[in-house]
A and B are shown apart, each in its own frame.
Chain A
């Protein structure tokens, strides 16, 4: 468990008219670790991030970024000095060249690392004299990443950072995020790519329809989430499977598959109690846990 929170929200809510993009979100992101923020399209990931950075105002609830309230403009500005952010659309100023964009961004931050800037310019093969509007989508994404990774912030927030990148660049990005975390930067990134999250994250938060439906470390997920397959000699008895630790339940002929979110031993015991003749418990991937979380909640 982290000692301090770099992100902390309490009942954070964002409404657009009657639509609630974020609902009563209680989110805590610990310092010094990599947290993956998963959710379907329109689940509320970007709305949450925008509220955290002061771009959008909460409809209700509160939040703190690096210990400072997000709805106070002065405090928000102060916290943004220590936060690097890569937006979902990765757009920077089309009329500037790569070099001008780097110089412009560098002028706002005291934690800029010129040696990292030079290395990333080479690694990403970004032409300093080329205007942003003449860059390909992948190159623009790399430029946006460079502008964030050339700093040494306390918190790095990335909204779908790998979108538009080729596999080699994705690999380089993931390594850069791990390196940033090793340097003491807390990394909070949203993604649709569950495999990426599973590879580098220490902690996972899943948001669905604006609500937090999973908040656990990968270790907890691996330990507690199990797929339990029960076999019966005849048609399975009707049984109310709802209860603590039980996610989705699927019946197929004489077999019932339960996604357990904990209490696996108790579930197995219950299964034997109602006549299961075979019980098999196996580990599940983060993809299965994610799907279970968002499908069960739907």
Chain B
């Protein structure tokens, strides 16, 4: 029942994001049907176009903001709505409430990153007369999800630390930009700590591999170690959120 509650509370924003992404994907395919290959670059691989639209450029920052917003909500929001008293009187622990919300949020985020993996490979052949491998979509979904859970957990923590109606959303939107400013300074403009650049990581770090960049295909193995580290960071953030919630008075 807690899962059902978490789903009902988050489904509007999830369905909005899902619809927007589905519409974007369909729009991309319809455009590609008309314009691919572009006359100025007749040899441009279709995979490179898919990569540049779905997994590079603005895709990373937009996904980061969406993931951060997915993390918002919870007991502070319920306090503002006046339902915290009812929820906290239920015979469940605060950790269970948080766990249900985290699980539903991560599942929603997973569904979001897998949406292009369904639409693009399935509809590219009939609409664009081009093939795009599912394995590529799944690889990029894994890369997006690795940083996605970190952004999600950060939004989750913000929603627990900030009780104001607009404070947590504002912090969520500013977080990726703040991170980039700090990263740019520490990494000397991205020259060091490349693994810590979320958007380079999410796009497969293909700028560093000219051949992959030209083909638009992620050919190497997934960076499992970094992915594991990111998963641990996300878990630590969620554990911190749980600890803070446990101490809060409502």
Q: A88 contacts which of B83, B85, B93 (Cβ < 8 Å)?
A: B85
Q: Are A104 and B4 in contact (CB under 8 A)?
A: yes
- For residue A93, CB closer than 8 A to chain B, the reply is yes
Q: A108 contacts which of B4, B81, B84, B91 (Cβ < 8 Å)?
A: B91
Interface range for B: 20 to 34
Q: Are A93 and B85 in contact (CB under 8 A)?
A: no
State the total of A-B contacts with C-beta under 8 angstroms.
66
Q: Which of B29-37, B100-108, B109-117, B242-250 contacts A (4 or more CB under 8 A)?
A: B242-250
A-B contacts, 15 listed (Cβ < 8 Å): A50-B249, A53-B88, A74-B93, A77-B91, A87-B89, A91-B82, A92-B86, A93-B5, A93-B8, A94-B81, A96-B8, A104-B1, A104-B5, A107-B1, A108-B91
- Determine the residue in chain B with the shortest Cβ distance to A107: B1
Q: Are B86 and A55 in contact (CB under 8 A)?
A: no
Complex Cα spacing A276 to B94, Å? 64
Complex Cα spacing A227 to B82, Å? 43
- Determine the residue in chain A with the shortest Cβ distance to B4: A104
Complex Cα spacing A92 to B81, Å? 9
- For residue B92, CB closer than 8 A to chain A, the reply is yes
- Determine the residue in chain A with the shortest Cβ distance to B12: A95
- B residues neighboring A (CB under 8 Å): 1, 4-5, 8-9, 81-86, 88-94, 246-247, 249-250
- Determine the residue in chain B with the shortest Cβ distance to A57: B249
Q: Are B9 and A54 in contact (CB under 8 A)?
A: no
Most buried by B among A83, A108, A109: A108
- For residue A244, CB closer than 8 A to chain B, the reply is no
- Determine the residue in chain A with the shortest Cβ distance to B1: A107
Residues of chain B within 8 A (CB-CB) of A55 are 84-85, 88-89, 249-250
Q: A50-B250, A57-B247 are in contact. List 15 more A-B contacts (CB 8 A).
A: A55-B89, A56-B250, A73-B93, A77-B92, A77-B93, A83-B89, A89-B82, A91-B83, A91-B86, A92-B86, A93-B8, A96-B8, A104-B4, A104-B5, A144-B86
Task: Scan A47-70; emit 1 where CB is below 8 A from any B CB, else 0.
Answer: 000100111110000000000000
Task: Scan A34-57; emit 1 where CB is below 8 A from any B CB, else 0.
Answer: 000000000000000010011111
Q: Are B249 and A56 in contact (CB under 8 A)?
A: yes
Q: B89 contacts which of A53, A94, A95 (Cβ < 8 Å)?
A: A53
- For residue A130, CB closer than 8 A to chain B, the reply is no
Residues of chain A within 8 A (CB-CB) of B250 are 50, 55-56
Complex Cα spacing A93 to B8, Å? 10
- For residue A80, CB closer than 8 A to chain B, the reply is yes
Most buried by A among B84, B88, B246, B247: B88
Q: A95 contacts which of B8, B88, B92 (Cβ < 8 Å)?
A: B8
